[in-house]
A and B are shown apart, each in its own frame.
Chain A
Amino acid sequence: MRKLLFISGLIMMLTGCATYTLVEPNRTEIGDLYTVEPQIPWSESTSDKTQIWTVDGPALQELRFVNGIEDSESPFVGLLEEEKSPKFRKGMTSLEIKDLVVDGLSVMGAYKIKMKKVKPFQFGAHEGFRMELDYVTEDGLEKSGLVVGSVIKEKLYVIAYTGARAHYFAKHKDHAEKIINSIQMKDSKPSAE
């Protein structure tokens, strides 16, 4: 058993993968800025500024929260080589951030990206953007995505829901939408309570 644990540890070190813990459906903190209502139980893995929720595994569907990316930092940190990671610059407009997200997705292996419905969006109480897209992975699997983002106090926040277009994206898309619409800033007093 000790050997197994050692090997598990070794695999984790080599792959940089974290283990998963359960997220209950009650209102949950994302980073230290806001909370959401998860709707359903999710499996979560976290690293520095990223939280990933999934039900069937990130290769099939994932809801990725990227929190508090600072000036000259990349929201894709840890996923891409340094020079290939598109950098966030404070003062970027929502459209530039949308382009940045598309650049990063593309370097990560999203091909034949088709943008649909890029729109202004209220991220909690903050101005942001929302977009939907279709793409194909390097292996040729069709996927879809829904992304929202905003700059809050000069830091970038992104939520990206992606998944296999057949079944797995649709399976939790409504939940992802509801989660995104349930964003509540921690410093602002909710009006209903």
Chain B
Amino acid sequence: MTFLKTVLILVMYGMCISCATPGGEPGALGDIKPGERPELHTDEAGLWMAFDNMEEKLKTSGRRITDPQVNHYIRNIVCKLAGPQCSDIRIYIMQIPDFNANMASNGMMQVWTGLILRAQNEAQLAYILGHEIGHYLRRHSIQAWRDTRMKSNVSVLFQIATAAAGVGYVGQLGHIALIGSIQAFSRDNEREADDVGFDLIAQAGYDPREASRIWESLMKEHAASEKEAPSIFFATHPPTEERIETLTAKAQAVTAQGGRFFVGKKELEAVVLPLRASLLRDELRRGEFKETQILLNNLMKNEVGLGQIHFFQGELHRLRAEPDDQEKAVVAYQKALEFPNAPPEAHRALGLFYFKAGEKPKAREALERYLDLKPDGDDHEMIREYLRQLN
């Protein structure tokens, strides 16, 4: 017992040194100013260094979407929101089909394609970006980092008990905490980022009612998934009723004063449409068919590029392959072809279905139609082989 006591005293002494800087209440650190860099000897500078190195890798990552149009578009939104701090923020659009955006303390902002695909208009996208800018301005990363460090120090105290019991010393938390510091913030931090995000979009003239709407549709999608482990954004940003109510009330206060509010549905669509087929393909690859179904339902309501949406509806059925899905897929492909600009792949999918079903004339017709529309597709030699077998 005296043994353990000595150990505890020694360790407590150590703790006092390492947690001399407290985790921080909201706003305790002061906002980051334009062009500000932390002093080199601080823990914040260390965090910046780690993020700078991460950013070097991000720059040349295979996941990075370099398409100038969408990069330019998102940069403009961020500048509208962040004003003088816009030049401190670097944006990386990452080809990851989950709904997420995050921002590190050094100004590295990641926008995942799953968010771009799901936002129903520019105001919604701007709200999420504003929320992340809020984390940045209020320096939540360094707060989260300090909290984790303190917690890991505390958890060591428990390990001493296990060591005393002869179980031995257990591992280290390592780099996970670093990633955590840009993903998981405290509830207070989340509320604060909500406030900042809201104020930023309201100042920039966006329709503030869209802020709560994007949380609501995220909740709907999550409810449909029936999954225990929610998506990363949902897990780290739980959209509680309370938050939605707060945002709705704030929006009412702003809109009650009257004026014109920018929603930007067409603006966002113009940027997303050229990428949408590839984003939907990535979305299907998640294998979360229930969530994808909600997304497709939302996109169908928008009535833009319906041929493409029905085609992907068919793809969902084909890949899910539950009973009746084959028939449903065929119906969806046929529906897709009723719209102008339907993807030629709908003909291909139908052709392959009829080919397997032994319906030769229909298969031939569909595959020939596909070849007419896409004579140089990477698969044209395979299609010609099928046609040869059909003749």
Touch A–B, Cβ below 8 Å: yes
Interface residues of A (CB under 8 A from B): 72, 81, 83-87, 89, 91, 93-96, 98, 103, 106-107, 109-112, 115-120, 129, 131, 135-141
Find A119's partner among B285, B286, B382 (CB 8 Å cutoff): B382
Residue of A nearest to B289 (CB): A83
Q: How far is the CA of A115 from the CA of B381 in the complex (A)?
A: 13
Given A106-B285, A111-B95, 6 other A-B residues pairs in contact with their CB atoms under 8 A: A86-B319, A89-B321, A107-B285, A118-B378, A118-B381, A119-B382
Enumerate chain A residues within 8 angstroms of B260, measured Cβ to Cβ.
none
- Which applies to chain A's interface (DSSP): helix, strand, loop or mixed? mixed
Q: How far is the CA of A89 from the CA of B318 in the complex (A)?
A: 10
Find A83's partner among B288, B352, B379 (CB 8 Å cutoff): B288
Q: How far is the CA of A138 from the CA of B319 in the complex (A)?
A: 25
Instruction: Count A-B contacts at CB 8 Å.
Output: 70
Find A136's partner among B62, B348, B355, B386 (CB 8 Å cutoff): B62
> Is there an interface contact between A139 and B282, defined as CB atoms closer than 8 Å?
no
Query: Min CB distance, A133 to chain B, in Å?
Result: 9
> Is there an interface contact between B285 and A96, defined as CB atoms closer than 8 Å?
no
> Is there an interface contact between B319 and A111, defined as CB atoms closer than 8 Å?
no
Find A93's partner among B95, B282, B352 (CB 8 Å cutoff): B352
Residue of A nearest to B349 (CB): A96
> Is there an interface contact between A137 and B62, defined as CB atoms closer than 8 Å?
yes
8 contacts between A and B (CB under 8 A): A83-B288, A93-B356, A95-B352, A111-B95, A112-B62, A118-B378, A139-B57, A140-B57
Residue of A nearest to B320 (CB): A87
Q: How far is the CA of A107 from the CA of B319 in the complex (A)?
A: 15
Q: Is B6 an interface residue (CB 8 A)?
A: no
Residue of B nearest to A136 (CB): B62
Residue of B nearest to A71 (CB): B321
> Is there an interface contact between B62 and A85, defined as CB atoms closer than 8 Å?
no
Query: Min CB distance, B78 to chain A, in Å?
Result: 24
Q: Is B274 an interface residue (CB 8 A)?
A: no
> Is there an interface contact between A118 and B62, defined as CB atoms closer than 8 Å?
no
Q: Is B14 an interface residue (CB 8 A)?
A: no
Enumerate chain A residues within 8 angstroms of B381, measured Cβ to Cβ.
117-120
Interface-centre pick from A91, A103, A109, A117 (highest chain B CB count, 10 A):
A103
> Is there an interface contact between B285 and A98, defined as CB atoms closer than 8 Å?
no
Interface residues of B (CB under 8 A from A): 57, 60-63, 95, 282, 285-288, 319, 321, 348, 352, 355-356, 378-379, 381-383, 385-386
> Is there an interface contact between B287 and A94, defined as CB atoms closer than 8 Å?
no
Query: Min CB distance, B321 to chain A, in Å?
Result: 6
Q: How far is the CA of A81 from the CA of B63 in the complex (A)?
A: 19
Query: Min CB distance, B294 to chain A, in Å?
Result: 16
Q: How far is the CA of A81 from the CA of B98 in the complex (A)?
A: 15
> Is there an interface contact between A95 and B62, defined as CB atoms closer than 8 Å?
no
> Is there an interface contact between A138 and B63, defined as CB atoms closer than 8 Å?
yes
> Is there an interface contact between B62 and A93, defined as CB atoms closer than 8 Å?
no
Q: How far is the CA of A119 from the CA of B379 in the complex (A)?
A: 7
Residue of B nearest to A104 (CB): B285
> Is there an interface contact between A93 and B378, defined as CB atoms closer than 8 Å?
no
> Is there an interface contact between B385 and A120, defined as CB atoms closer than 8 Å?
yes
Enumerate chain A residues within 8 angstroms of B319, measured Cβ to Cβ.
86-87
Enumerate chain A residues within 8 angstroms of B61, measured Cβ to Cβ.
138-140
Given A137-B62, A140-B57, A140-B61: A120 and B285 within 8 A (CB)? no
Residue of A nearest to B319 (CB): A86
Enumerate chain B residues within 8 angstroms of A116, measured Cβ to Cβ.
378
Query: Min CB distance, A69 to chain B, in Å?
Result: 15
Enumerate chain A residues within 8 angstroms of B352, measured Cβ to Cβ.
93, 95-96
Q: How far is the CA of A135 from the CA of B61 in the complex (A)?
A: 12
Enumerate chain B residues within 8 angstroms of A106, measured Cβ to Cβ.
282, 285
Q: How far is the CA of A129 from the CA of B383 in the complex (A)?
A: 11
Given A93-B355, A93-B386: A103 and B285 within 8 A (CB)? yes
Q: How far is the CA of A138 from the CA of B59 in the complex (A)?
A: 11
> Is there an interface contact between A140 and B62, defined as CB atoms closer than 8 Å?
yes
Q: How far is the CA of A67 from the CA of B340 in the complex (A)?
A: 43
Residue of A nearest to B282 (CB): A106
> Is there an interface contact between B382 and A129, defined as CB atoms closer than 8 Å?
yes
Query: Min CB distance, B57 to chain A, in Å?
Result: 7
Enumerate chain A residues within 8 angstroms of B321, measured Cβ to Cβ.
72, 87, 89
Residue of A nearest to B318 (CB): A96
Q: How far is the CA of A72 from the CA of B325 in the complex (A)?
A: 14
